[in-house]
Chains A and B, each alone.
Chain A
Amino acid sequence: MVDPDPHASARSEVLGRIRAAIGPDRPRVQIPRDYDVRREHGNVVELLARRIADYRAVVRRVAAADLPDAIGTLLARRQVRIMLGPADLPEEWRAPDVEWHLDDPPLTVEQLDRADGVLTGCAVAIAETGTIVLDAGAAQGRRALTLVPDYHLCVVRADQVVGSVPEALARLDPVRPLTFVSGPSATSDIELDRVEGVHGPRTLEVLVAS
């Protein structure tokens, strides 16, 4: 019997071929999970700062109370005029002397492209790998917001920092859109050597607030 619907017949044929290939006695595979879920690092905030800096990103550690001043200082140093932020960007992060465009109503791609930079928080940060994870949650906004502008300033709270990749994944909800960011945009495509600066933000600055 030939199925007239090519989708259905492709599906059933591929699944049928898989079943035939595996055969009736399916191997039972035990997955050894004896790798390290957590590794001992002492101060993970310090490690995060070092590892992010290894990617040639700027990292500053600040006391939570000094965060607004620290944001103002970094933005002034870069002489940014227009900064973007998610709709729920905390009031106190919006440094004066900067024009803030929040993503509400959603900004057009042209507006994203014209801005000097974007300020967000994050969901989780991974100390071992110097990675910031965005999940479109609080103070982060949608993915395009942190992608099109050439400069991304990201605030990490100390309680968002974990040591390892397994610890980070356990904290994340996989059905949210996730972006793992490890340093500024880079490429290894020329002679297998990493150079910064291709299509994503070419400058990444991180403020770790404790």
Chain B
Amino acid sequence: MAGTGVTWLGTPAFPRAARGALADTQLRRNLRKATHTIRDKRAAAVAELADWERLRRAGAAIKDSVLANLDVHLERLEAAVTARGGVVHWARDADEANAIILRLVRAAGADEVVKVKSMATAEIGLNEALAEGGVRAVETDLAELIVQLGRDRPSHILVPAIHRNRAEIREIFRREMPSASPGLTDDPRELADAARHHLRLKFLSARVAVSGANFAVADTGSVVVVESEGNGRMCLTLPETLITVMGIEKVVPTWRDLEVFLQLLPRSSTAERMNPYTSVWTGVTPGDGPRQFHLVLLDNGRTDTLADEVGRQALRCIRCSACLNSCPVYERTGGQAYGSVYPGPIGAILTPQLLGDLSHPQPASLPYASSLCGACFEVCPVRIDIPRVLVHLRSRVVDARGGRSPEAAAMAALAWIMRDPGRFEAAQRAGSLARLLARQGRISRLPWPGSRWTSARDVPAPPRESFRAWWRRNRG
């Protein structure tokens, strides 16, 4: 079933949308600072575990095993959640999910819900749907709050306000938070404190919470939310009713499988040994937490994605955001240029697949929003070969558009994004597309679109390391 929601209406195709971002030097400075900080930290957190590569392989295989029997795992999850007092709902698309949630909120007699940051609810545009139904959704994650108060759009899957620096955040808080003191400084600690006071009463009085889920265990029905601030715990613990929205691919077969993901995720996302809080709950526990628990299982384009044997690996994604943080294109354009709640390398392969429409210029432009340098694959904790999927989707775009491709325009724009066309070309030649498609150490003929370059030059396939070394020396 094709997904709805996913992209923002009216967003221009990537090359044009990126131009606005490139003109915004403040935005580029903010992004550069944040992504570079986190890259180095991630590398250090990962280097601590000698078995990191083995964990990645296990993580990828667990996710593949889930996808190979997704129906079976979902039915087991449903049975386990139901046995522990939860109620499971199925939603074919965004509209159906939103309607289910609105009905549940109304049944609980609430006109306001507190929300834990969740990509699934951003994808389906839940806040807007609730607002139309007369229900206010209060974002409680700090970065989501910054986006909501600033009437802005998210630009990163983990830190949606990554494009805002501390001074801008202070201005938004001063303007939009009645409780913020006029003397509020831009010290991050003070800003966090202001958010604490702003939301405290909401947490203590909320009756309904809406969350996403990082994982759900088919065996036991246990649902997992990984977070930092404690806003997640507040939402998962204090209200009477909890509604969790989860993409169908988030299920894992057994409790033991979490031993892999609870190591891969925090080190890849916030570069910590462990995130401050991880909550696990199973159905309803008398005397502890919500009295009603609803789990909404969301398709919204995922089954279409599953049908593509190359593209389906995008469904392994655990939303760590490492691929965004390591991407030289994302670093320059920011997330909003991708026109979707899923920006960056994962967005470039997930958004078009969830939408299922590769003839529309906007999603069709996304597989070109990459230099195929391979940094995203290198950092991905579940080994999604993003460059390979990008190339595959480019061929699907050409098919869908009757042989016409946005390649020339997209490539020219990308070269411009990378500022130095010579450097970009070198990246292309040395990049992982070459690695990927090389036969016997020489690239003589690439399938489309690489064929356009290889017909002009017959280049030796460089070892991957040398490209990485090259990139480290040359990266912006």
**Interface, chain A (partner B; CB < 8 A):** 6-7, 10-11, 13-15, 17-22, 26-37, 39, 51, 54-55, 106, 109-110, 113, 126, 128-131, 136, 142-144, 147-148, 165-166, 169-170, 174-201
Q: Which 7 pairs across A and B sit closest by C-beta, in order of nearness?
A: A200-B230, A198-B229, A199-B230, A21-B307, A129-B274, A17-B303, A180-B278
How far is the CB of B354 from the nearest CB of chain A, in Å?
14
Contacting residues, chain A, for B65 (C-beta < 8 A): 29, 31
| Cβ A130 vs Cβ B169 within 8 A | no
Given contacts A131-B274, A190-B191, A199-B140, are A177 and B289 in contact (CB under 8 A)?
yes
Whether the Cβ atoms of B58 and A31 lie closer than 8 Å is yes
Select A174's contact among B89, B158, B217, B303, beta carbons within 8 Å: B217
Contact: A200 with B270, CB < 8 Å?
no
B279 in the interface, Cβ–Cβ < 8 Å? yes
B444 interface hit (Cβ, 8 Å):
no
Flag the segment in B66-74, B422-430, B457-465 that touches A: B66-74
- Contact (Cβ within 8 A) A136 B288: yes
- On whether the beta carbons of A190 and B204 are closer than 8 Å, the reply is no
Known: A126-B274, A169-B255, A187-B192. A200 touches B233 (CB 8 A): yes
Q: Are B306 and A195 in contact (CB under 8 A)?
A: no
Q: How far is the CA of A196 from the CA of B189 in the complex (A)?
A: 7
What B residues does A190 contact at CB under 8 A? 142, 166, 169, 188, 191-192
Residue with the highest number of chain A CB atoms closer than 10 Å, among B140, B200, B230, B325 = B230
A180–B277 CB distance below 8 A: yes
**Complex: chain B residue closest to A20, CB-CB:** B307
Chief secondary structure at chain B's binding surface: helix
User: Cα distance A31–B61 when bound, in Å?
Assistant: 5
User: Would A200 and B64 be within 8 Å (CB), given that A130-B273, A174-B222 are in contact?
Assistant: no
Tell me the complex Cα distance, A55–B233, Å: 19
- CB contacts (< 8 Å) of B196 on chain A: these are 197-199
Distance between Cα atoms of A184 and B259 in the complex (Å): 22
Please report which residues of chain B, range 144-196, place their CB below 8 angstroms from some CB of chain A when the two chains form the complex. 146, 158-159, 161-162, 165-166, 169, 188-189, 191-193, 195-196
A185 contact from B57, B222, B277, Cβ within 8 A: B277
B84 at the A interface (CB under 8 A): yes
Q: Is B400 an interface residue (CB 8 A)?
A: no
CA distance A37 to B51 in the complex (A): 10
Q: Which residue of A lies closest to B165 (CB)?
A: A191
How far apart are B327's CB and chain A's nearest CB, in angstroms? 14
Name 17 interchain pairs, CB-CB below 8 A, sorted by A: A10-B89, A10-B91, A14-B303, A18-B74, A30-B61, A32-B54, A35-B54, A143-B233, A143-B236, A174-B220, A175-B283, A177-B281, A189-B143, A192-B159, A197-B189, A198-B142, A199-B195
Instruction: Answer whether A18 and B303 are a contact pair too, CB < 8 Å, given A7-B89, A190-B188.
Output: yes
Which residues between 46 and 86 of chain B lie within 8 Å of chain A, taking CB atoms? 49-51, 54-55, 57-58, 61-62, 64-65, 67-71, 74-75, 84
Contact A15 B58, CB 8 Å, known A29-B68, A147-B230: no
Q: In chain A, what residue has the closest Cβ to B269? A: A188
What residues on B are CB-neighbors of A180 within 8 Å?
262, 274, 277-280
